[in-house]
Structure 1
Amino acid sequence: MEFAKPLPNYLVTRYHGWKATSYQENKGWYRRLATEGQRPRAMVISCCDSRVHVTSIFGADQGEFFIHRNIANLVPPYQPDGDHHGTSATVEYAVTALQVSHLIVLGHSQCGGVQGCIDMCKGHAPQLEEKTSFVGRWMDILKPKYQLVQDIEDEEQQARQLERQSVVASLENLMTFPFVDEKVRDGSLSLHGLWTDIGEGGLECYDPKLELFTKV
């Protein structure tokens, strides 16, 4: 593979710094994880956005969270059609193989994917409407929720509400997976919907009875 290049120097420097400090201080724990395998308590589905740092928000250690990231923290509906399904495969592995007890969907403020969905729905993003756009077709998962926020005149508030609805859409789609539905109903798995405000460090949790997000 002639196109692969050496790692940038700044990343090499950071790696050696980590190896000499954090790794050395926790060498026993890392080796235990390697030999005994992972036993994460929870799976977290979050956005790819570089500003969302799941382990930092919850102060999690290595081996505690099984994390999957994608554009706008979306989960597609259950669709066993034989095609490639990265998110669905990750959910299946977490629930059936790792047997996590908690499945968390974490949305966030200023989400570019959600804004792209809004732009599509308003007819302002023809490039995302193209069949060749992976982002556009992925955001089709969220488009049905736009009708819930389309009458909000304030654009910022509209975006914040659709970000929260991206979490709800994923929770609803998770329940279309038979193995998720079964474990939720027998009490061995619980679903949680969260939304975090990047700038303020706030965290909200979805209450299905109120159909609202409330501060944690």
Structure 2
Amino acid sequence: MADDEASPGATGLPQALVEGYESFLSGRFLAEHDRFEELAVKGQTPRTMVISCCDSRVAPEAIFNAGPGELFVLRNVAALVPPFEPDDHYHGASAALEYAVMALKVSDVVVLGHGQCGGVRAYAEIAAEPDAPRLSHSDFIGDWIKMLGPAADRLGVPPNPRDSLYVERLEFEAVKQTLRNLRSFPMIQVLEHHRHLRLHGALFRITDGRLFVLDESTGAFNPVCEKAYAAAFAEARF
């Protein structure tokens, strides 16, 4: 984004956002106007919740080609959810989860990790250099990504925490950790036990667009839509 695109326009918003909204009005909003009206009148009834990272390169609606009202999305650093902690602190992730499964009654929750995750890499870098300066005095990110500790413990002590292969392994293991944390919630335990709710782990690799889904019976992440993926790259793109 060029500097002039990021500068506030007459509306006070960045100009790129204003232009994007104009395109939305003349394009997708017109094409899906009936859908938006239905959502406004009847409310949302998504069947799937996606827990994803804040990373701007990983947009669940784009990855899954979802329209308005189809996904209930929670995004935060490294797609993490804390374990069940019923106290008087603020719990944004837990509140979103509670609303999705208890109010909206979604049938599926997908934990979507991704490659080149800055939060996971930050955890590895802190492990390699614990005395390095943080982004701020409060160190909100450092406190948040401590949730990756159990995932890192399962992988064992690496020769070099900054090694790209180790960070990639930790990205996959982080998805499993969030699934573990989700299952610490009594409401999740009950709904999953009665088969009213299904939990899924997945990882999107930015470099090549591959999507991997966790097989919890083996612990392995397997690529999906192999034929479609091969077909998408069968023809020369240049």
- Normalising by structure 2, we get a TM-score of 0.84
Q: CA RMSD in A?
A: 1.8
Q: Is the 8 A contact 2:150 2:177 kept in 1?
A: no
C-alpha deviations, 1:5-40, integer Å up to 9, x for none? 811222112111211121112111101011100000
Give the superposition deviation at 1:120.
1.3
C-alpha deviations, 1:137-170, integer Å up to 9, x for none? 0001002221315336581110111001110110
- Structure 1 residues 128 and 141: alpha-carbon distance in aligned structure 2, compared to 1, 3 A threshold: farther
Letter in 1 for 2:198: S
User: Which stretch of the first structure deviates more once superposed, 130-139 or 58-67?
Assistant: 130-139
Paired residue secondary structure (2:147): coil
- Structure 1 residues 30 and 86: alpha-carbon distance in aligned structure 2, compared to 1, 3 A threshold: same
Paired residue secondary structure (1:127): coil
Structure 2 gap segments, 5+ residues each = 1-10, 225-238
Aligned to 2:8: none
Aligned to 1:40: 46
Q: Is the 8 A contact 1:130 1:136 kept in 2?
A: no
Letter in 2 for 1:151: P
Distance (whole Å) between structure 2 residues aligned to residue 129 and residue 150 of structure 1 = 25
Q: Is the 8 A contact 1:131 1:137 kept in 2?
A: no
- Structure 1 residues 18 and 181: alpha-carbon distance in aligned structure 2, compared to 1, 3 A threshold: same
Q: Is the 8 A contact 2:175 2:202 kept in 1?
A: yes
Letter in 2 for 1:27: H
C-alpha deviations, 1:36-82, integer Å up to 9, x for none? 00000100000000000111111111101000000000010000111
- Structure 1 residues 155 and 169: alpha-carbon distance in aligned structure 2, compared to 1, 3 A threshold: same
Runs of 4+ in 1 over 6 A off after TM superposition: none
Q: Is the 8 A contact 1:150 1:158 kept in 2?
A: no
Aligned to 1:78: 84
User: Is residue 164 of structure 2 the alignment partner of residue 156 of structure 1?
Assistant: yes
Aligned to 2:129: 123
Using the aligned pairs only, state the percent identity. Answer: 38
- Structure 1 residues 15 and 129: alpha-carbon distance in aligned structure 2, compared to 1, 3 A threshold: closer
Q: Is the 8 A contact 1:120 1:128 kept in 2?
A: no
Aligned to 1:136: 142
Paired residue secondary structure (1:68): strand
Aligned to 1:60: 66
Give the superposition deviation at 1:125.
5.7
Aligned to 2:208: 200
Of 98, 116, 120 in structure 2, the residue corresponding to residue 114 of structure 1 is 120
User: Is residue 189 of structure 2 the alignment partner of residue 186 of structure 1?
Assistant: no
Count of residue pairs the alignment pairs up? 212
The one of the two structures with greater contact order (alpha-carbon pairs below 8 A, sep at least 6) is 1
Of 12, 15, 19 in structure 2, the residue corresponding to residue 13 of structure 1 is 19
- Structure 1 residues 73 and 48: alpha-carbon distance in aligned structure 2, compared to 1, 3 A threshold: same
Structure 1 gap segments, 5+ residues each = none
- Structure 1 residues 128 and 140: alpha-carbon distance in aligned structure 2, compared to 1, 3 A threshold: farther
Q: Is the 8 A contact 1:121 1:146 kept in 2?
A: no
